[in-house]
């Protein structure tokens, strides 16, 4: 990862919008990002990645947090 600490990036007009151009070394193959801003106007870009929770090969019970008493089985699982 390249160090961009303190580097100035200017806002440019792109069609009817304004945008910024990021160095290609910073992108590292990601094509989509989610953008967040805080109350001070600090922008944070987070690569948009698929969640493991959306993967159909995993069931919801794969991610269950076991209780102190051991694993629990719901009535619907008993009938499967």
pLDDT per residue as tens digits for the range 25-35: 777 777 888 89
User: Do 34 and 45 form a contact (C-beta atoms < 8 A)?
Assistant: yes
Does the pLDDT value for residue 78 go beyond 60? no
By CB atoms closer than 10 A (0-12, 13-18, 19+), residue 45 is: middle
pLDDT per residue as tens digits for the range 40-71: 989 888 888 777 677 777 666 656 666 666 66
Is the full-model pTM beyond 0.75?
Answer: no
């Amino acid at each position: 990862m390249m160090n961009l600490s303190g580097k100035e990036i200017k806002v440019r007009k792109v069609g009817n919008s304004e945008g910024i151009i990021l160095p290609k070394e910073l992108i590292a193959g990601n094509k989509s990002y989610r953008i967040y801003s805080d109350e001070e106007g600090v922008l944070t870009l987070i690569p948009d990645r698929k969640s493991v929770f959306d993967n159909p090969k995993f069931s919801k019970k794969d991610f269950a947090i076991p209780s102190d008493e051991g694993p629990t089985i719901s009535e619907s699982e008993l009938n499967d």
